[in-house]
Amino acid sequence: MTFSIKSLLQWFTLFFFSPVLLSFFITDAKSIIEEDIKRWQSVLNLPERSNTLQILFLFKSFVEFRNLYYFRVLKGSLTDRMIGRLLRLIYHPLSTLYLIDCCNIGPGLFIQHGFSSIVFGDLGSNCWINQQVTIGTKDNNGYPHIGDNVIITSGAKVLGNIKIGNNVTIGANAVVIKDVPDNCVVGGVPAHIIKRDGKRVD
C-alpha cells in the first residue's frame, strides 16, 4: 500500500510538469535539447527512460536544467519564445544562474550547481559548470570562447576575449585571463598551466 501511494505521488508530480512537453515537442531546438537530456542522464547516472519521461524528471528534480532548457527554447521561433516565457512563470528557473541569450552554448552543457553563476561567452559541446562561476567580459573587450569538454569548477572566472581549448579543466577560484591550449589543467590567480597532456608543468 505504501509503495502504491508513493508511486501515485510520483506520477502526479510528473503530471504537474506535463505542460513542458508541449514546448518540447514543437520547439525548433528539440534535437539539441535531446542531446542535453542524454548528457544529464549520463552524468547523473539516471535510469534509462524515454526523452519524454526524462525531461519531466529533470524539470522536477534539477532546477538548473530548467535554466538550460529555457535558454534553448528562448532562442527559437516566436512560438517557442512565447511558450517558454509562460513556462518560466509556472516552473521557475534558478534565479541566480544567468545564461546570457546572445551567447552560443553547444549541446550537453551540464550545470552541477548553478548558484551565483553567469555564462556570457560561447561554449562548445559537453562542458561542465559548477557554482559561483563567472564567464564574461573584461574591459568590454569581447567575451571568452570555450572549447569542447571543458570543466569549470567552483568560483572560477574566465574573463575577456580569450580562447579556452578543448579538454581543459579550470581549477576552483582560478582567474583565467589568457588563452589556454587544449588538454590542460589550469589554476591560480592569475591562472597558469599546471598540467598539459597529462604531464605536470613547472
User: Tell me, what's the pLDDT at 79?
Assistant: 92
User: Tell me, what's the pLDDT at 138?
Assistant: 85
Strand order in the sheet with 128-129: 110-111, 128-129, 151-152, 169-170, 184-187, 192-196, 199-200
User: How many angstroms separate the CA atoms of 114 and 131, rounded?
Assistant: 5
Q: Which domains does the chain have, with CATH numbers?
A: 16-95 (no CATH), 96-202 (2.160.10.10)
User: Tell me, what's the pLDDT at 3?
Assistant: 54
User: How many angstroms separate the CA atoms of 166 and 51, rounded?
Assistant: 28
- Model confidence at 131, pLDDT cuts 50, 70, 90, reads very high
Of the two residues 3 and 177, the one the predictor is more confident about is 177
What percent of the chain has pLDDT above 70? 98
Express each pLDDT in 146-192 by its tens digit: 999 999 999 999 999 999 999 999 999 999 999 999 999 999 999 99
Amino acid identity of residue 195, one-letter, is K
Question: What does the pLDDT average to over 49-59?
Answer: 93
User: Tell me, what's the pLDDT at 199?
Assistant: 86
Question: What does the pLDDT average to over 1-9?
Answer: 65
Question: What does the pLDDT average to over 102-129?
Answer: 95
